Structure 1
């Protein structure tokens, strides 16, 4: 049987998602728990796959993994969460044998959390709309040789929540560092360093020097979307993960004086 799991994790605690020798990674931590419980024997035979290989420092509250197992009764969130640290299983789904969490994805949603430094929110919103649609994002990503720089962004929303501004970006697929470089452009627009015309030019022409990516620690892969795949969520696991995840996530982001108000607004 093939099982898919919806997972959250604190990216600051890992050297990225993908397995690497001699360092702690999200994938490595999950596989270790699955092998320990006898759910899988090894990732290759189980056809273990992930939806997104998030970079070091990037967190998730909706990444997806999938694997084959003869013991699906052991894959429930409350069982797995007992054996995981800094990773939370939120829900599970039985999926077709050919299900690949990356190739079956219909879109992803990212959230970037900014401390409001007196930004002009209206300028930030106007700048955000420039990125919506189909564009060449060569100037807003680290381009790998085999990757097409043309991407489609479905929406960008700027959501002020007290002292925190949430930038929510949804699209079909994203390039390496694309979200974080877009966030840098939004910050510079909202600060008056870049104009709307500057950003338009960067979407239309090649530039000699790209904008740097915003720090990875404030980025969260919020959701991976599918058609015909419904995850059975465990309410207890979701609430426990939400509290523990955001408490850890917020430690480096906001001060204790505004933490409670921010947490209740999520």
Structure 2
């Protein structure tokens, strides 16, 4: 028995990745589609919130025929297969791969204020910016890019807790705008107070999951349709062909700690 890894993308019609009762989730729809061929467990590299898009999520399962699995997964509404890889052993996907989340803010922020807020944020107790502060956050960096009237934030790391990116992004934005005073900011960074701010899920996308494995490209028949839905609100990506691997590099992100 082989372990099959698929790099998938999905739109924002799902109530998150993880299986939940009575709602449509990515994991739930995949299990529904794959259970007829004997697949009962599917592991994911990330668990996105409700209505958060993903341009790159790694899933793993035991399977005998990866070609058949790719075809079935690619036929699930709202999901496409971007690539596939076979392994002789199980790979622990959680905390194994670097992920990049992109958050878009429809407003032009002051660059120096954003840099300062990010620098201070990265020195603080970041695990408190979550609906589940007990879960570990492995954040490596936050960078940003200002494009005309839009500010983009790129969060990089190996582990993100529930709502972390949305809460962190909105809190940094409000601090950059001067809407959070020094006392509240200090309390938030020390962990003595939890942030009450949270950004819109539709403004967030799991942009990339950086895997050390070389995935074989899968030519999805639904690429154009899903790609359009994944990036429908990210109008500044309209000129890009396909789902790029290194969007972050092409957008000229600035390191927050500089």
TM range, smaller chain = 0.7 to 0.9
Counterpart residue number, 1:109: 100
* Alpha-carbon distance in structure 2 between the residues aligned to 1:114 and 1:120: 13
Gaps of 5+ in 1: none
Asked whether the equivalents of residues 231 and 237 of structure 2 are also in contact (C-alpha less than 8 Å), the reply is: no
Take 2:196 and 2:165, find their aligned partners in 1: how far apart are those partners? 12
2:215 is aligned with 1:231: yes
Q: What are the equivalent positions in structure 2 for 1:41-80 lying under 5 Å apart? A: 41-44=38-41, 48-76=42-70, 79-80=71-72
Matches within 5 A, 1:166-177: 166-177=152-163
TM-score (ref. length: structure 1)? 0.78
1:264 alignment partner, SS class: coil
1:126 corresponds to: 116
User: Gapped runs of 5+ residues in structure 2?
Assistant: 241-246, 248-258
> C-alpha distance in 2, partners of 1:144/1:158?
24
Q: Per the alignment, do residues 179 and 52 of structure 1 end up closer, same or farther by CA in structure 2, a change over 3 Å counting?
A: same
Q: CA deviation at 1:153?
A: 2.4
Residue 82 of structure 1: CA displacement? 5.0
Q: 1:205 to 1:247 in 2, by over 3 A?
A: same
TM-score normalized by the length of structure 2: 0.80
User: RMSD of the alignment, in Å?
Assistant: 2.7
Instruction: Label 1:21 to 1:140 Cα distance change in 2 as closer, same or farther (>3 A).
Output: closer
Question: Paired residue for 1:244?
Answer: 225
78, 84, 87: which one pairs with 1:86? 78
Count of residue correspondences: 240
Alignment match, 1:137: 126
Q: CA offset at residue 88 of structure 1? A: 1.1
2:109 and 2:151 in contact (8 A); partners too? no
**Residue 16 of structure 2: aligned partner:** 16
SS in 2 for 1:199: helix
> Where in structure 1 do 4 or more consecutive aligned residues deviate above 6 Å?
none
Summarize the Cα distance change of 1:202–1:102 in structure 2 as closer, same or farther, 3 Å threshold.
same
Post-superposition shift, 1:21?
3.0
Q: Secondary structure at the match of 2:29?
A: helix
Q: 1:42 to 1:204 in 2, by over 3 A?
A: same
Name the SS of the counterpart of 1:124 in structure 2: helix
